[in-house]
Structure 1
Amino acid sequence: MKKSVISFLNFLYLPIIIIMMVLCCIPISIFAQEKREVTKQNNRDTLILEKHKTTYHFDAAIYYATTDLATTFNDFISQENNFSPFIVEGNKVFLPSDQASWFQIPVRSEYDEISDWFLQVSNGYQMQLYIPQLDGSYREKRFGIFYKDSLQSSVPNYYSTTFSLKKGTSMLYMRVVPSERAKKQGGYKQTFVLFRKDAAHNHFAINLATNSIIYTIILAMCLYNLILFFLIKDKSYLYYCISIFCMGIYFYTVPTLKSVAFWGKLTQDSEFNAVVNYISLFLTVIFWIKFTQSYFGMRTNFPKWNRYFTITIFINIILATLYIFLIGDISNIFVIILHLITTISLMTFSVVVFYRKELLGKQFFMANAILFVFAIIYMGDVLHIIPSNWFTDSALEIGIMIQIVLFSLALASRINLLRQQVSEQTIDKERLERIKAEEIKYVIEKKNQELEEKVKQRTAEISEKNTELEQVVEELDTTNETLRYTINRVEEQNTQITSSIAYAQRIQEAILPRQEEIKKFFPNSFIIFSPLHVVSGDFYWFLELGEKKFLGAFDCTGHGVPGAFMALIANELLNEIILYKKITSPEKILSQLHKSIQYSLKQSETKSEDSIDGTLLCVETDKENGCRVEIASARNSVYIFDTKGAREIKGDRMSIGGDFQKENVSFSLYSIQIEEQTDLYMLSDGLQDQFGEKTNKKFMKKRVRELLNEVTTYDSSLQKRTIESTLENWKGIKEQTDDILVMGLRLKGNND
């Protein structure tokens, strides 16, 4: 099936290409002949519009001047301007990119009445054509990409406009502001073509036919080689197909008068179009090199050439990347020189394969030689070395078309040569496969015998291992039974421990004073109580005794169940000291609590270091003296806020209990007369010792003071929520490190 398809393609290929080349040459020759006739009859000083002529190339009749971009038409014609010829020594002037160019076009119409005309140009972002009227004034016609939203629908592209011209001699003016692309290239060349309005359609039809044939040939060659790739699975055809496709994109996006007129309202001067144009040229070169490497097996047959062309590919890739990001900073000449060197290198390699008589080396040499000659002509036109005309402008396209046709024919011939080689290789392969099959058969028989012996040995070993495994399985079963029993015991004990802790929690909650009771006497108060492990070593304490109300915040050694037991003991001892021993002064209460802890825990005998840090307040109110607060503290600080500012009463540097060598200890007493609204805060060290998620550092006392200073203006419920949310945000995903207790109350002064 593949052979029949390939034969059919080879049969039709040559006639189709010949027909396409003939069709391509007809419109090009017509256009060239028309251009030559018009150029011969144009006058350098004045463009004469004759009745029997329809198309004019009038560059020789144009004079130009440049001004800054802000100059208007009225300013321009009111001042003296130095006009220069647009054609110098047969070449067009290279116009500046940072100024507006003004073109003066003297015209003499030989028509008996007003005639309609169509003007087509090749470059420009913002263009104005000024046409003289019968009354001596000038009418402005705007066109270009800048005015694309206001252009009339009858205009086929952004670079053309229509106008009417009176009989006799007139002076046309045209202003052109260059495009961004022209600015980045350092300048531009301009092309003018004037059509009689009724003849413009014929010009665009010829242009359409020419370009259609060119792109049809490129597309046909691309599809043809793509089909060959899928049939033969040879990467050479894929690389060649991609190269042809990129070449087509290059011609599609190259900004010439012909392409502008052909593609209509396409933004040829856009940044994207420029990048695509350059990148497609780079890709054409890169994949043409890849095709050459693959076609001649360069890695094996020409290793030095392969390294050279691989380096060339990398240089092209680097330069293409620079064009994308720094297109305005790279010279076009540098790129053209690189591609010229690449073309010369490919031509040199073509000579090498020609003399070495490689497969289809002659065809490869001829195709590249023709392309090389036409590429030299085209580069000479781009670099302004040779005069520019229709042939030099289209030289690269002509060379590419001839090269594609010649080399596609060579690739088609290569299929027959490869088929012949494959046929010969198939015969040799079948003979070798027969010999190899006999050798394999002998080796297989010998290996089978060896395998049978090994199987017997392995079977005996497996049998022995199975016996050992059965014993291991029995031992594992016994071990599993033991583990199941142990797991059940652990789960039972865990349930008992969990139940005990839950019961301990209920006991602790029952012993702690209810917050509603505290709020009864201190409405503007709050308590944040957060145990680390269900039950807490931190506890708060409250007792009412006549006019005196006692409030305490304590932190016992440890947390969880041990800390909770310590809190339970301290809670009962505090009640006993005040209610039964009648001690009501805070510093003496703490001193007595120190003795009671040592006695209750027998610390003189056990040497136990268990102790309590905490603060005790006594709030006393009477009608004569108002409100007075007495404070005693072991290690922990009390924070006080009023209109005078913030104060910190630091606790004595000793704990309650623990130090069995000191039975009698004294704590300091602080007395405060409340004359105005005052906020007091007592807390354990749980808040300041909490680690944060983001910093992995403790909250610290400094942040505690800043936080309390922030919330002291809030009411008690908002204070509590703010502290809790601040703690939660600080902690994040970090686990709580200790029991946390914060107590706050607001007292009214005598003057409130």
Structure 2
Amino acid sequence: MNSFSKISILLFVLGVFFNSCSNDNDRPYAVNGILNITDYHLNQDIIKLDGKWEFYWNRLISPEDFRKKKVEESIYSNVPGIWNDLTEENSSISGQGFATYRLQIYNQSSDSEFGIRLNRINVAYKLWINGDLLAENGKVASNNEEIIPSRKTTTHYFNADSDIIEIVLQLSNFNQKNGGIENSILFGNEKKMQTSGKRGMALNFFLFGLLLIVAINHLILYKLRSDVTSSLYFSLLIFSITFSFAISGNHNITSIIFSDLDWNILMKLDYIGDYLSLFFFLKYISSLFKEEISRLTNRIATIVILTMILFVLITSPAIFTYTVILSYIITSVLVLYISFVLAKAIVSRKEGAKQALLGTFILAIAILNDSLNNHLIINTYYLLPYGLAIFIILQSYLISFRLSKAYQYSVQLTDELDYFNENLEKLVKDRTSQIEQQKEELEVQSESILVANDEIIKINQILEGQSVEINKKNKAVTDSINYAKRLQEAVMPEETLLKENFPNHFIFFRPKDIVSGDFYWYGEVDSSWDFDESNKIKIIIAADCTGHGVPGAFMTLLGHNFLHMIVNIQEVVDPEQILYKLDQLVIETLKQKETGTMKDGMDISVLTVDEDKKSIAFAGAGNPLFYIRDGELIEIKGSNFGIGGVLRKEKIYLPHKIEYQEGDIFYIFSDGFSDQIGGPDGRKFYKRRLKEILIENHKKPVDEQKEILNKAFEEWKGDKKQIDDVLVMGIRM
């Protein structure tokens, strides 16, 4: 269905709606119980007896009482209308009770045969025309025990020779919320009324039959295609709409099909039919657009609707008729939600969403119009038959279109299968030829693989022999390095010696490989002439040699030997002099002046401790000194010149003297800790973080400080490799 068709249908419905809302000023209207139709031609049209009728609350007045003038002054009530909205003597009138309506028609027509139609009055009534009892529906009574309610649309014919036609209508209601005449009473000449009645009956039965045919047709479609549940729910929706149409419409289908059915059951069926229509409408939309509709909302709506149906079943009309407003609210909310779901489907470009939304919109307008009309808010024509017709056409088109596409797809698959069957023999031959060709290729490849496999076996045998030899050599090298490690550890100062001279110290030493390029050294020199041990000068050194592993380890051995010569033999105790002599020995031993290319050497920190004078002398070649006093970290930088290597300018190593206090703690170290790569961004640890750790933990015991440094290093390194040897020494004075 193209856009033009949709717009045409929408404009047609809106045109009918607004046209029906227009007031026809030529129609007669009753004023204060009198309807003047002397200037109106009844043979041309049927009129509505709308307007102000005389109204007598809680009084059942007969025409005889009016003739004898035994009637008190009346009030006036709108017809159509309900008496719940009226007041008498400043008090509201209840919907349950009894009353008498009276209207006098002034007529000068030459006709004497008339008809009057009472459209679906849901209460018991008696009708008199000019004093003669013309009709009785149910049993009118002044109490709940004697009343027999009834609901029928009936047309009655009578003769009237006088110019004034008096209509007296007694009503009683004790069985539902609203009392009164809720639909227009029609009046006209007998022939016109009979013709109109027959046409209305024919149209209503035509619509009734058409709805049944559509419902049965879609039920058969579901039987043929049980996987298409939308056909089932649409069929049930049409069945429920047909049922409601037969029960509640302003026609005689109810009187013919349900003539002997109890009034209470008819009222229940009326409400249940509406709720079932709403329920199956929700299920129908859910089956079409499963992805767009919320399962939770679907369940809640289902529970609410089924609860309302159960409430109608277990209560009487005197109770459940008070839920009309609630049912309108539920319907409005559900229609808005379904419209939202269909809008989502349109945005998602789901097939049929536009037709479904258009049909829902048209049906909602028709239902809204008829609901407002039933509650006397507006006075229009009933549009539900037209809205239903367009809704059913659109939805039938939608389901048929989907089934047609499924059928076309099935036909396409059938054609493909037929083509495949017709060409199966040729396909088998072609495939057999391909397989034979592939077999020949595989045989050639298999021979090549066998030859290659023999070559691989020979190569593997050679590699296995080489692997055994490599493993032997690797073990020999590893054993040699492990032996070198033991030698390196042997020349390091013993822990007992350091503990004896510096009780509060720690050494965090972590080589990168088996042997290390970092080392620490300790020596003593007697500074007194009488060899008093209490006057010993203690020298503690932390050194970082060029490289790591085996090359670095060789440099550490040179460093140990040179320091032993300088301090223990030559008894040099000034830290800057130790550095000068060490630099000279490294350059001479490695012949760096002759080659001019070797840059091997070391960065080193030298501390000399004179406990008698409570002083420390420091000199550094490339490495600094940290010490903390009263919570403040002080850094003394070493010289920019390392040990070893040939420079064009003279090296200078400056001495620094510190008068230490009890509790001061001194740190010397290599650059391995601060240069370690790690952390969340893969950066260096840097001296800044090292300073923060030392300041934060300097008051803690030295052994605990060592563990803290180890933990910080591991966490920073993470799963990355250690890039250098690590050495950190701490001494608390």
Q: TM-score scaled by structure 1?
A: 0.50
Letter paired with 2:506: F
Moved more, 451-460 or 627-636: 451-460
Higher Cα Rg, which structure: 2
The letter of the residue matching 2:485 is: Q
Structure 1: how far apart are the matches of 2:334 and 2:281?
Answer: 21
Tell me how far apart the structure 1 counterparts of residues 299 and 263 of structure 2 sit (CA, whole Å): 25
User: Is 1:562 equivalent to 2:551 in the alignment?
Assistant: yes
AA aligned to 1:47 is S
SS at 1:633 equivalent? strand
Question: Deviation of residue 707 (structure 1)?
Answer: 3.2
Q: Are residues 1:702 and 2:682 paired?
A: no
Answer whether contact 1:617 1:631 (CA < 8 A) is retained.
yes
User: Contact 1:532 / 1:736 at 8 angstroms: preserved in 2?
Assistant: yes
Aligned to 2:565: 576
Q: Which residue of 2 aligns with 1:174?
A: none
Which residue of structure 2 aligns with residue 214 of structure 1? 274
Alignment equivalent of 2:606, drawn from 605, 610, 616: 616
Matches within 5 A, 1:135-534: 210-216=270-276, 249=301, 252=304, 278-283=336-341, 342-343=358-359, 372=362, 375-379=364-368, 388-389=375-376, 439-440=422-423, 443=426, 448=429, 464-534=444-514
Relative to structure 1, is the Cα distance of residues 604 and 398 closer, same or farther in structure 2, using a 3 angstrom cutoff?
same
Could you list the per-position Cα deviations for residues 202-244 of structure 1 after superposition, in whole angstroms to 9, with x for gaps in the alignment?
9999987654443445657888x89xx9xxxxx979999999x
Q: Which digits, 9 at most, give the CA deviation of each residue in 1:642-692, with x for residues without a partner?
A: 249443221112111222878x95532222222453221111111221223
Give the letter aligned to residue 564 of structure 1: A
Structure that is richer in helix per residue: 1
Q: Which residue of 1 aligns with 2:580?
A: 591
Matched residues in 1 for 2:418 and 2:280: separation? 44
Distance 1:240 1:540 in 2: 75
User: Tell me, which stretches of 5 or more residues in structure 1 are unaligned?
Assistant: 1-33, 55-109, 111-116, 121-201, 230-234, 295-308, 314-338, 347-370, 748-752
Q: Note the C-alpha offset of 1:479.
A: 1.6
Q: Deviations over 1:76-119 (max 9, x none)?
A: xxxxxxxxxxxxxxxxxxxxxxxxxxxxxxxxxx9xxxxxx9x9
1:719 corresponding residue in structure 2: 705
The 8 Å contact of residues 278 and 331 in structure 2, kept in 1 or not, is answered as: no
Match of 1:744 in 2: 730
State the shift of 1:43 in Å: 4.0
> How far off is 1:630 after superposition?
1.6
Find the residue that maps to 1:497 and give its secondary structure.
helix
Cα distance change of structure 1 residues 375 and 276 upon mapping to structure 2, 3 Å threshold = closer
Decide whether the 8 Å contact of 1:240 with 1:288 is kept in 2.
no
Give the distance between the partners of 1:687 and 1:292, measured in 2 at CA.
65
Q: Could you tell me how far apart the structure 2 residues matched to 1:689 and 1:273 are?
A: 74
Specify which of 636, 641, 665 is matched with residue 623 of structure 2: 636
Amino acid aligned to 1:39: N
Cα distance in 1 between the residues matched to 2:423 and 2:547: 81
- List gaps (5 residues or longer) in structure 2: 1-78, 100-142, 144-173, 178-261, 313-318, 526-532
Deviation at 1:716, TM superposition (A): 1.8
1:440-475 deviation per Cα after TM superposition (whole angstroms, max 9, x unaligned): 37746xx73x77777777666655554444332222
CA contact (8 A) 1:693 1:731 kept: yes
Contact 1:502-1:534 within 8 A present in 2 as well: yes
Asked if 2 retains the 8 angstrom alpha-carbon contact of 1:246 and 1:283, the reply is no
Q: Cα distance, 1:694 vs. partner?
A: 1.6
Write the distance in 2 (CA, Å) between the matches of 1:645 and 1:559. Answer: 34
CA distance in 2, matches of 1:648, 1:586: 17
CA-CA distance at 1:247 after TM superposition: 12
Q: Is the aligned partner of 1:39 residue 2:84?
A: yes
TM superposition shift of 1:491:
2.8
Q: 1:634, CA displacement in angstroms?
A: 0.7
What CA distance in whole angstroms lies between the structure 1 residues aligned with 2:267 and 2:499? 96
Contact 1:375 1:396 in 2 (8 A): no
Q: State how far apart, in whole Å, the 1-side matches of 2:625 and 2:545 are.
A: 17
Give the deviation of 1:581 after TM superposition.
2.2
Report the AA paired with residue 598 of structure 1: I
Q: CA RMSD in A?
A: 5.9
Partner residue of 1:537 out of 502, 517, 530: 517
1:556 Cα offset (Å):
0.2
Deviations 1:157-207 (A, max 9, x none): xxxxxxxxxxxxxxxxxxxxxxxxxxxxxxxxxxxxxxxxxxxxx999998
The 2-side partners of 1:40 and 1:564 are apart by 110
Cα 1:719–1:291 change in 2 (3 A) is closer
Stretch moving more, 479-488 or 401-410: 401-410
Does 1:733 pair with 2:719?
yes
- 1:552 corresponds to: 541
- Deviation per CA, 1:491-547: give whole Å up to 9, x if none: 333333333333322222222223343122222221111111132111111123441
Aligned pairs, number: 473
Partners of 1:600 and 1:613 in 2: how far apart?
17
Distance (Å, rounded) in 1 between the aligned partners of 2:266 and 2:514: 93
Residue 567 of structure 2 aligns with an amino acid whose one-letter code is I
Deviation, structure 1 residue 745: 1.0
**Alpha-carbon distance in 1 for matches of 2:88, 2:677:** 93
Task: Report if the CA contact (8 A) 1:222-1:241 is conserved.
Answer: no
Q: Distance in 1 between matches of 2:460 and 2:665?
A: 63
Kindly tell me: are residues 542 and 389 of structure 1, through their superposed partners in 2, closer, same or farther at Cα, counting changes over 3 Å?
A: farther
Instruction: Assess if the C-alpha contact under 8 Å between 2:370 and 2:383 holds in 1.
Output: no
Any conservation in 2 of the 1:619–1:628 contact (CA below 8 Å)?
Answer: yes
